[in-house]
Amino acid sequence: MMIVTAEEPEKVGVAFSPEAPDSLEALDIPESLVEDLMLRRLYSKGSTSMTALCSSLKLPYPVIHDLFQRLRRRQLFEVLGVKDNDYTFTLSGAGRDQAERRFTVSHYAGPAPVSLRSYDTAVRAQAAKVAVNRAGLKKALSDLVLTRELLDQLGPAVNSQSSLFLYGPTGNGKTSVVGRLGRIYQDAIVIPYAVEFDGQVIVLYDPAVHERLAIDVTGLDPRWVVCRRPAITVGGELEPSMLELQLEESSRVYAAPLQMRANNGMLIIDDFGRQIVTPHYLLNRWIVPLDRRVDYLSFRYGLKFEIPFELLVVFATNLDPHELADEAFLRRIQNKIYVGPVSSPVFEKIFDRLVAERNLSCEPGSAEFLRALCLQLGGRELRACYPADILNILASISTYEEVPATVNKASLKRAAAMYFTKTMAIKGERPRTHQELEPGERE
């Protein structure tokens, strides 16, 4: 079980470590696929060495050497030279013909994949087991000002590693909270570069969302990458295709969907209800995975298969949950946490912290003044975003005026006037009609 401490993943190591295969027979994927990878790699590079192939295909030297000898006996290679038992070679005419035929099937010539069965075993073995206490969670979210009440709801929720639903008015820190929840994971996992099933390659490792760690694991199969547990955030850009296998037409290679890339970590759906995909579609798509921890994907030609769904799904929304989902779905989301407006002490603490972090000159009483100003101009509720937003405007004004940013009543009033909208109906005013204007005002 993972205890939240001060340790970094680099110092913790990995609990699951697939061993490197020592021969071609020890691989868990079809030998024909490995041959195709080698031929396509040579076809695209022109010539290579066995050492270079080990690096590019992420296979141990014994496997590459075994494969090289087999294909050489079939006269698919021409040796260009040898140094320290490391052959440099290229494709023969027959090898080039075969490589060209394999290119019509797929252009993939990257790291060798692991089997779907091996991937499933790894994901199940690396399921997150978190044991965070109040002190640990407070430390993980130390750069936010949160009430003890909110912390005491978040803690048990993340410990359960079940789905989590944060809701409440906009501007009160839901996005800030969920964006930092990944800090609770303080161990490392292994992720394969790619997964194979039915002869098809699914590219999984994505450096854009997977943070690789500099941990040297003795004997680790090089087809696996040591990473932090992923914490992937998606907002309004989410569309149905991102939840399914995506076939790259030019390369004939599949890309893993979001939930597969987020396995063993968390997937955050921010601004839920404002996506291209409708809430109804998304909830129906995941009602089974959230309940049974498995998902189903399909290849373009119709073959359907099962993958693990071992992740924490976090929804964050400022819409009414009952307008987004029915009771059947909300029941499957066990943890539902309301993030409401902030209190006066929390508001002032946020303001004071931001002023200190930005090293601003601040007039005494500014926090109380801004709090009263926001209640006057913004309504009856205080929002956590007000201090940062108004201080940002204040800084922009100081840049425009070419003077140092100073926090005082005058500068706060000027920034707040730009931030809040005016509602004439509240002031008892309304626009005058054309007939009510004075003759000189009608032009």
Closest CA to 110 of 199, 203, 209: 203
Architecture of domain 30-112: Orthogonal Bundle (1.10)
Mark out the alpha helices in 315-381 (DSSP H runs): 321-324, 327-332, 344-357, 366-378
pTM (2 decimals)?
0.85
The pLDDT, as a whole number, for residue 45 is: 86
Rounded to a whole number, what is the largest CA-CA distance in the chain?
100
Q: What is the residue whose two structure tokens read 């014994």?
A: 62
The pLDDT, as a whole number, for residue 430 is: 42
d(CA 120, CA 132): 26
Q: What is the residue whose two structure tokens read 């079939």?
A: 74
Tokens, residue 392:
């940002």
Q: Are strands 312-317 and 266-269 parallel, antiparallel or unpaired?
A: parallel
Write the CB contacts of 215 (distance below 8 Å, at least 6 apart in sequence). 9, 10, 13, 14, 188, 226
What residues does each domain of the chain span? Answer: 30-112, 119-338, 344-419
d(CA 317, CA 343): 20
Closest CA to 59 of 106, 109, 87, 20: 20
Chain segment 241-296, per-residue pLDDT in tens: 999 999 998 888 999 999 999 999 999 999 888 888 888 888 888 888 988 999 99
Closest CA to 223 of 122, 346, 146: 122
Architecture of domain 344-419: Orthogonal Bundle (1.10)
Q: What one-character-per-residue DSSP string does 14-26 give?
A: BS--PBPPSSGGG
Write the CB contacts of 330 (distance below 8 Å, at least 6 apart in sequence). 165, 321, 322, 336
408: left (phi over 0), alpha (psi -120 to 50) or beta: beta
Hey, is 397 helix, strand or coil? helix
Q: Is 206 exposed, middle or buried (0-12, 13-18, 19+ CB in 10 A)?
A: middle
Q: Are strands 253-255 and 200-203 parallel, antiparallel or unpaired?
A: parallel
Tokens, residue 22:
């020592």
d(CA 314, CA 131): 18
Q: Please determine, for residue 111, whether its predicted confidence score (pLDDT) is greater than 60.
A: yes
pLDDT band with cut points at 50, 70 and 90 for residue 8: low
- Cα–Cα separations (whole angstroms), residue 377 to 190, 358, 365: 52, 25, 18
Q: Please determine, for residue 3, whether its predicted confidence score (pLDDT) is greater than 70.
A: no
Identical fold between 30-112 and 344-419:
no
Average pLDDT over residues 419-431: 56
Tokens, residue 261:
């890339």
Hey, is 306 helix, strand or coil? strand
Number of neighbouring beta carbons within 10 Å of residue 267: 23
Average pLDDT over residues 75-100: 90
Q: Provide CATH code, domain 119-338.
A: 3.40.50.300
